[in-house]
Amino acid sequence: MTSHGRHFADLSGPAVSDRLTADSIILQPLGAIEQHGPHLPLATDSIVATAVAEAAVAEVGEELDLWLLPTLQFTKSNEHAWSPGTVWLSATTLLAVIDDIARCVATTPAKRLVFFNGHGGNSALLNVASREARLSHGLMTFLTHPGMPADQGGVSPANELGMGVHGGTDETSLMLHLAPHLVDLGLAERRVPEKLAQNKQVRFGGRISFGWLSNDFFPDGYIGDPTAADAELGKRLFEGAVHNLCDGLREVAVFDFGR
């Protein structure tokens, strides 16, 4: 199955008005170019977000009149600013970029814009941007993820004590499934902040959040246990992410604020 024919950028200018309607959905994936430790590539988040979005569009694109924008790869990765190779936008810049994208989408017949975010560091800002775009441009805006990050209430495997927020078991497993040639497990080690995991409230996913940089915990900047990664787990995670995105998009297609 392919998403060919559902890439927004492949349309001509006149075709946008001819083929899109008020029921069309625009899907904007967001990734990152940022350090993921020595065992994963800088493009990890972009690779995952793009692959899941492509698969979902292939599955429900025709059913939901879904159109895929190119993945935005430079985003707010300043928790990794300490590492050469990380290419990041400031919060102010990314807010402006998202607003510009929304302004342009609002010139099309489409009324629904979905941000599909593969980088957890963007999430808080994208919630703000979604409301700003709703107010400024009248779009119905939505935010979802391939998997909810553990620092935002998502789960990570038991071996990570709920601390697998970056470059750990799940993310490495996804990459072993999607792009194994870019993974070097020989450089992977367990990096779990055991002391933080003992806290009830001030912890990843706890009631009290905290500002953090990825090298606050370990100097190599990843947080989790990639040594437990497995390509078969990655396949299940990928298929689950595609299934969840398709289900979510079906609800987006008929969402009406409960009226």
The alpha helices in 85-182, defined as continuous H runs, are 91-105, 123-137, 169-178
Is the pLDDT at 95 greater than 60? The verdict is yes
- Looking at residue 162, its amino acid is G
* 115-127 per-residue burial string, b: 16 or more CB within 10 A, e: under 16: bbbbbbbbbebbe
Average pLDDT over residues 87-96: 98
What is the residue extent of each domain of the chain? Answer: 8-254
Determine the Cα–Cα distance for residues 161 and 202; give it in Å rounded to an integer: 14
Bigger pLDDT: 32 or 147?
Answer: 32
pLDDT tens-digit series, residues 143-180: 999 988 777 878 878 899 988 999 999 999 999 999 99
Is the pLDDT at 195 greater than 60? The verdict is yes
Answer yes or no: are the C-beta atoms of 185 and 193 closer than 8 Å. no
Average pLDDT over residues 22-40: 98
Window from 36-45, 88-97, 163-172, 241-250 with minimum mean pLDDT: 163-172
Cα 63 off chain centre by: 23
Is the pLDDT at 248 greater than 70? The verdict is yes
Per-residue pLDDT at 1: 45
Neighbouring residues of 27: CB distance < 8 A, sequence distance ≥ 6: 53, 56, 57, 66, 67, 68, 69, 114, 116, 249
Confidence of residue 4 (pLDDT cuts 50, 70, 90): low
Confidence of residue 2 (pLDDT cuts 50, 70, 90): low
Average pLDDT over residues 206-218: 94
Answer yes or no: are the C-beta atoms of 49 and 117 closer than 8 Å. yes
- Average predicted confidence (pLDDT) for the chain: 95
The alpha helices in the chain, defined as continuous H runs, are 13-19, 44-64, 91-105, 123-137, 169-178, 194-197, 231-254
258: left (phi over 0), alpha (psi -120 to 50) or beta: left
Provide CATH code, domain 8-254. 3.40.50.10310
